[in-house]
Structure 1
Amino acid sequence: MPEPTPEKPTPDEPAHDPEMLQLAAKVFDLARHGDTDTLAAYVDAGVPVNLTNDKGDSLLMLAAYHGHPDVVRSLLERGADPNRTNDRGQTPLAGAVFKGEEEIVRILVAHGADPAAGAPSAIETATVFDRKDLMELFQGR
C-alpha cells in the first residue's frame, strides 16, 4: 500500500497524483498475483514495463518472485529488463532461484538474464541452495 501523499510537496519531493499512485498499486498487485492478460493490457496501454515500486522492485521482479511464468514471459516479450536490480541489489533471476522457480529461471536465462548480476547473484544463490542443476544451466549459457 502506498504511503499517504503530503498535502503540500516539499521542494525535494514532487507532487503525486493519487490516481496514478492507485494505478501503480494495482499493476504491482497484478504482477504479484499473476494476472497476465490484464497486466499486459496495462503495459500495452502505456504503463512502463520497467516500472518499480518504492523498494525498487520491478513488475518482472514481483512476477518472478511470486512464481508467475506467464507474466514473466509476457513482460520480457514487452521489453522488461531481466537484469534490473532492486534497491537491495537483487535481480529477478536471483529471486527466482531463491524461491525455487525453475521454469522462471529458465525463461529469464533464455531472455538474457545474467546469472552473475546482482548481490547476491543467481550463481551465489544457487550455490547456497546447492542447486547444481541451475549451476549447469548458468554455465551452459
Structure 2
Amino acid sequence: MKSILLVCLLGAGMGQSAHAVDASIALTAEALQPYLFDAARTGDAQLLSELIARGSEIDAHDVQGNTALILAAYHGRLVALDVLLQAGADLNLADVRGNTALMGALFKGETAIANRLLADPRTDVNTRNHAGQTAAMFAALFGRDTLLEALAARGADLAMADARGATAEVLARQQGNGLLADRIAQLLAR
C-alpha cells in the first residue's frame, strides 16, 4: 500500500495527474528515504531507481541498522541489488552487528546474491563482524560449500579466527560438516 501511495505522490511531484493527491506536497529526499529500504526489501527496482534519482541516500542505515543493499541481499532481491550496485552502493557497510550484505546472503543461502557480490572487486571478503566472524566463517557455519570455494578463490583468509578463536574449519567441524572442514583444511594447505 505504501508503494502505491508513493507512486501516486511521485507521479504528482513529476507533474503527472494523480487523483486526490496534493501536488504541492514536498517530496524531499529525506521524506522519501524510508521508502528506499522498503523498495530494497521488496525488490521494487523501478521504485528504487526513482528514489535514488530523487536523492535518497543510498548508503543510509534504517532504524535497525540495515542499508538498502543489506536488505536486498538478505531478501534475495537480485535486480534491486544490481540497481544499488550500479548506483554505487558501498558493499562493505555493515549492520548493527557488523554483518555485511555478503554475510546476510550467506546466512540466508542466497547463492545468486552471494555470487554477484563476490564478482564485484569492491567486496572485501575478509571483513569481520563484531564477533570477529568473516564471510568464510558464515559459509562454514551454514554449509555453503560452493560459496566457500568462491570465497577462497577471491582471497578469503581461511586461517582467520573469530573472537572465540574458531576458524572456518573449526566452525564447520562444530556444525558436523566434516567434509567441508576437510576441504577447508585442503585449501589452507595449498
TM-score norm. by structure 2 comes to 0.61
> Tell me, which stretches of 5 or more residues in structure 2 are unaligned?
1-27, 155-190
Q: Give 2:92's aligned residue.
A: 83
**TM alignment of 1:29-44, pairs within 5 A:** 29-44=38-53
**TM alignment of 1:1-141, pairs within 5 A:** 23-111=32-120, 112-119=122-129, 120-141=133-154
Instruction: Tell me, in whole angstroms, the C-alpha distance in 1 between the residues paired with 2:52 and 2:31.
Output: 15
Is the contact between residue 91 and residue 121 of structure 1 (CA under 8 Å) also seen in structure 2? no
Is the contact between residue 29 and residue 54 of structure 2 (CA under 8 Å) also seen in structure 1? no
Instruction: Tell me, in whole angstroms, the C-alpha distance in 2 between the residues paired with 1:33 and 1:99.
Output: 16
Structure 1 runs of 4+ with >4 Å offset: 19-22
Backbone CA RMSD of aligned residues: 1.6
Is the contact between residue 94 and residue 115 of structure 1 (CA under 8 Å) also seen in structure 2? no
What count of residue pairs does the alignment treat as equivalent? 123
> Tell me, which stretches of 5 or more residues in structure 1 are unaligned?
1-18
What residue identity is the alignment partner of 2:60? L
| CA shift digits 1:27-60 (9 cap, x unpaired) | 2111110001110111122111112112221000
Q: Structure 1 stretch 63-72 or stretch 127-136: which is displaced more?
A: 127-136
Cα displacement (A) at 1:21 = 6.4
Instruction: Tell me, in whole angstroms, the C-alpha distance in 2 between the residues paired with 1:132 and 1:139.
Output: 11
TM-score norm. by structure 1 comes to 0.80
Cα displacement (A) at 1:22 = 5.1
What residue identity is the alignment partner of 1:107? R
Instruction: Tell me, in whole angstroms, the C-alpha distance in 2 between the residues paired with 1:27 and 1:129.
Output: 29
| CA shift digits 1:95-132 (9 cap, x unpaired) | 00000000000111112222221323211110111222
Is the contact between residue 85 and residue 118 of structure 1 (CA under 8 Å) also seen in structure 2? no
